[in-house]
Structure 1
Amino acid sequence: MAEAAPLPADDLVLPFEIKPLGVRGRLVRLGPAVDDILHRHSYPAPVSALLAEAVALAAILGAMLKFDGKFILQTKTDGPVDMIVADYVAPGKVRGYARFDAARVAALKTPSQASLLGTGYLAMTVDQGPDMERYQGIVPLDGADLTAAAHSYFEKSEQIPTRLRMAAGPLIQRGNKGEAWRAGAIKVQHLPREGGSSPLPSHSGDAPEGADVAPQENDDWVKARLLLDTVEAHELLDPQLSAEQLLYRLYHEDGVTAYPATHLERYCSCSQDSITRMLARFPAEDRADMVTDGEIAVTCEFCSTTYKVKPGDLAP
């Protein structure tokens, strides 16, 4: 039997399972795909890091889709980065965009995710296509980063014990080639087997009123999440450390099983035809105001591609 081809180091979602602990998870490694997304815009470094983590989060959550569809992660806040959009289209296509106020970002002495985002909300939408109803979960962003918001979502919406670690940053390339951005994320969840109940911390409610009763967590879950908490940012970003090596470092004692990975690539849904159809829906007087030097120029917010359309090519 031929040996399976080794996994690429970058741009993948790798599902895995630690069977003795009743834990399943996913590991995302992003290299050229996220670097391409970021270098299509002139983002300050803190904004690039924030958007890169958002793309990694969209990929790790979107890869849970068991059908062809789209997972959309979007923030709307009053912070210097007032909007982020990151999409995952099954199977394995990602894109992202951040809208920011350059002066407000530059004014931050220590630009943490919380200070960049400010107050608002994070919406996560599952779009199953035109014939299916959309599902959306919303969690507040009020002094929290993306990781904390995701934890809140799983706790309140899915009620599944979940632990997530994310990182993003640039690596200096050899040969005077500048910086290459990378991002990584790893998530574990304690999922009951054979129809068992959710292992969320709980107690019977029989304690006397006012008693301080600490909720009990499943020992296997405690072990799994504590091990995950040892993951450092450089381990998620190091192109020399493979996904399998990282999983082995974490969970070799209990045995970790990796499943086939999904390759990730940057995509964009814009095209000359889609821009032309979009402009054709505008009233003629609005289109007339858009004309400069005899044509209408439209730039895609996601990929920064500029499309030019002549007014005569649009239906009256």
Structure 2
Amino acid sequence: MAPTLSPLVWGLLVATLLPGQPQAMSALVTHCSVLVGQLHLSPVKLAELHADLKIQERDELNWKKLKIEGLDEDGEKEAKLIRNLNVILARYGLDGRKEAQMVHSNSLSDSAQDDGLGDPRLEKLWHKAKTSGKFSSEELDKLWKEFLHHKEKVAEYNVLLETLSRTEEVYDNVISPSDRSQVKDDVLHSKHSELKDRLRSINQGLDRLRKVSHQGYGPTAEFEEPRVIDLWDLAQSANFTEKELESFREELKHFEAKIEKHSHYQKQLEVSHQKLKHVESFGDSEHVSRSRERHALLQGKTQELGYKVKKHLQDLSSRISRARHNEL
């Protein structure tokens, strides 16, 4: 069960939605780190949460530097930080909902197929694909990961939508009319823009799932990993030159290799966790100590790779966003 949203977390959340409250965001990130020990998450999920919080802290430090230099006057970058933090809260059950933990396509198990997809359209497409005879078992595993990735995108879109509603409500109920003129409309506008971008990506992804589910995978599938497939589709419709697009394609290959390496370490971490539980139940103290040390080293390596994957994904997404911005 996810921890209940404490008054402290709720107060910090409200504070982060107000202009000029950077210390509230820092406090909330710190509090999330403290809550890690109270969460009933697998070692793989804990490693992912650690990487997400590390990314969040890095982005916050970068934003503070920009703030000092007066480079975020409209509050857009601060608003994006808050949105990202809300996604983290929801993804790992830190927002107080029992059902809050989203599918996370960077995790080991990727959710059992019996768990369902939460959308009748997706369920129907998946059933057709499974019974069509067009997919090998390996291709079905690949397609299932694409469906889960789509489910995660929808879940994150809903979190952002609720964040927008909550932000507007806080502005209406907390900020006095005399202070309201100081609130930048661009902050809300940036949220609406991101929602539109996310919805466009969701619709494109659904179109792709329909096509693949009915036609199967072609013989020349460029990439295997859903996030890489998404990035490549977006890059092809961005304002890249032919040379830039080819360079981006090569970088995506390196990114996919990095994801595969991280996935390997995640599997090893899960196996290590199971072995450690067995040793703690039946082994002597020296054996337990050695096993815990090996497990801690493996956990640290998995966290490090998870951070690198997330940072690389962030960098690649930013390149596409800049290319799209140059079109306007």
Output the TM-score relative to the length of structure 1: 0.28
Normalized per residue, the structure richer in strand is 1
Normalized per residue, the structure richer in helix is 2
Output the TM-score relative to the length of structure 2: 0.27
